[in-house]
Amino acid sequence: MDTTCFQAFLDLFSQTYAQDFHILQLDNGSFHKAIDLIVPDNIILLFQPSHCPELNPIERLWQYIKSFLGWQLFDNLDELRDKVRHILNSFTPEIIVSLTGWNYILHALSVAGIS
């Protein structure tokens, strides 16, 4: 991803959900902090501290997906997409909770009446 791609995402996201206000949690990728990036008025960018994967549960999900890919080589991008799609379709709620269900997240969901 680069700044141009991230800008396109922000613009489309902002337009698609124009009636709502959004806080996007991001890592410290340089394209997330580019000087020429224009953040729409209905979006706030919240940067997580460096080296804190526990604040970003998706990191454990990616690690899990990568464990199934190993060092496989794919002939083309479609084969890789099919493999990742197969892995994602095999996820159960229990697997997702086991990967992303840190105590502080589960507590917050409980307090919010979501869990």
Residues 70 and 47 in one domain: no
Residues 21 and 64 in one domain: no
Between residues 24 and 50, the one the model is more confident about: 24
pLDDT tens per residue across span 51-62 = 787 777 788 888
Residues 37 and 59 in one domain: no
Residues 63 and 105 in one domain: yes
pLDDT band at 115 (very low <50, low <70, confident <90, very high): low
| CA-based nearest residue to 27, from 50, 44, 5 | 50
Structure-derived torsion over alpha carbons of residues 88, 102, 67, 30, reported in degrees to the nearest 10: 90
112 vs 93: CA distance, rounded Å? 19
Find the domain containing 20 and state its range: 3-51
Residue after which a domain boundary falls, among 31, 51, 71: 51
Average pLDDT over residues 32-43: 92
Residues 14 and 59 in one domain: no
Residues 38 and 72 in one domain: no
Average pLDDT over residues 69-95: 94
